[in-house]
Structure 1
Amino acid sequence: MGKKHLEDALKKIDHPIEVTYRSFELDPTSERDIKENMYEMLAKKYGMTIEQAKANSQNMVKMAKEAGLDYHLDTLILTNTFDAHRLAVFAKKHGLMKEMTERILHAYFTESKHIGDHNTLTELAVEVGLDRELVTNMLASDEMKVEVRADEQQATAYGINGVPFFLIENKYALNGAQPTEAFVQAIEKVIAENES
């Protein structure tokens, strides 16, 4: 949702802006194959009932819908996202990071695809224009591991402990799925400062 609000804000600003995506795992210790569903995981993590977890999740689904997104948390497949991050960084080398990131997020939140599975990731990569063999070889290796870990270390240095998190010109931070107008105000402030 935060990404969508940022994109909506950028449409309102008549100024060239470069967006860089960085890797951040919410839980690097997660297994690739997780038996729990979203509600069971939330209930366990935050000490709430399944019903409370469902209510909180439905609120997120509602906010996503208001942003023009179609989340399906009932069928979402929890997984370790490290390889998905490696794939996004790999796509960056080929000028397709934005497209790859968008495709992974849509596959995860809307299509309930297993984004920890190498076959799934390969298919998503081919859809955005990456070479199947290159992606297969990258996923089978440790390639892009250093880059992902460097992003995560930088996030730790900044004190980031959740997503979405937006850092504008290393000056202003916006945490969470802020409304579009918050992005517009922050970006316009940075533009004005840079022009003065």
Structure 2
Amino acid sequence: MTAETSTTAKVRIHVWSDVICPWCFIGKRRLDTALRGFAHADEVEVRWHSFQLDPHHPQGVRQPVFEMLAEKTGAPPAQVRAMTRQVTELAAAEGLTYALDRAVAVNTRDAHRLTQLAARYGLDGPMHERLMRAHLVEGSLVDDPSTLVRLATEVGLDRDATTRVLSSDEYAADVAADIRAARRVGATGVPYFVINDQWGVSGAQPAETFASALRTAYTAAS
């Protein structure tokens, strides 16, 4: 594995996201759509940063997402299903088949440490997406070490290096630093996108919003 860095990027996008966030995967898909239609996409660099929606979720505790949402909102099961139905339908419009009835809420710290490892090799985007798909589409446990190793090797990370990181506290400081940086840029929720350190885009905005921001940033940098 070798690190991939861009020396020609005119547009740099920093994204704060959590791997268990259904809106984050939708936001990523919409950004991807904007990039596919952007004439200068080869001059755009995207970096993924850690953010935990619930950093206080106890490590090792696993709870069905519907049950967790019912506890947090005080809503009955039928209302929770109605709440998640909307985001599931919006995800489907972006080609994503959510299975939130099978998703399990966990502490995402180890998953984020894995993305930090992947960033060393220019694989933070693929790693973050694979983790989101595992949680939101496949119902996999993204705090399970064997699952995390499997997902990491699927995107090209070394199995032994991944196992070593997960059995240590490596990259925990990087995760914490990303979360502090999110506060500095004003990200109180995710997804949150910062373009060329000047423009902030909050939430899973329509693809055209991202396309307009890309054009503005590219013109300003040219």
Match of 1:99 among 120, 126, 134: 126
Higher strand share: 2
For residues 111 and 73 of structure 2, what CA distance do their matches in structure 1 show? 25
What TM-score results when the alignment is normalised by the length of structure 1? Answer: 0.95
Match of 1:111 among 95, 118, 138: 138
Report the more deviating stretch, 97-106 or 46-55. Answer: 46-55
1:38–1:73 contact (8 Å) kept in structure 2? yes
For residues 33 and 86 of structure 1, what CA distance do their matches in structure 2 show? 15
1:32–1:117 contact (8 Å) kept in structure 2? no
Post-superposition offset of 1:35: 4.7
For residues 132 and 62 of structure 2, what CA distance do their matches in structure 1 show? 21
Per the alignment, residue 124 of structure 1 pairs with: 151
The Cα offsets for residues 88-129 of structure 1, whole Å up to 9 and x where unpaired, read as 110111232122111111111111110011111011111112
- Whether 2:117 is the aligned partner of 1:90: answer yes
1:33–1:78 contact (8 Å) kept in structure 2? no
Alignment length (residue pairs): 195
For residues 70 and 28 of structure 1, what CA distance do their matches in structure 2 show? 26
Residue ranges of structure 1 left out of the alignment (5+ in a row) = none
Higher helix share: 1
Letter in 2 for 1:99: P
Letter in 2 for 1:154: A
Post-superposition offset of 1:44: 2.1
The Cα offsets for residues 136-188 of structure 1, whole Å up to 9 and x where unpaired, read as 11111111111111100000122212111111112111111111001001111
2:107–2:143 contact (8 Å) kept in structure 1? yes
Pairing of 1:16-95 with structure 2 (within 5 A): 16-95=43-122
For residues 113 and 36 of structure 1, what CA distance do their matches in structure 2 show? 12
For residues 210 and 93 of structure 2, what CA distance do their matches in structure 1 show? 17
| Larger relative contact order (Cα-Cα within 8 Å, sequence gap ≥ 6) | 2
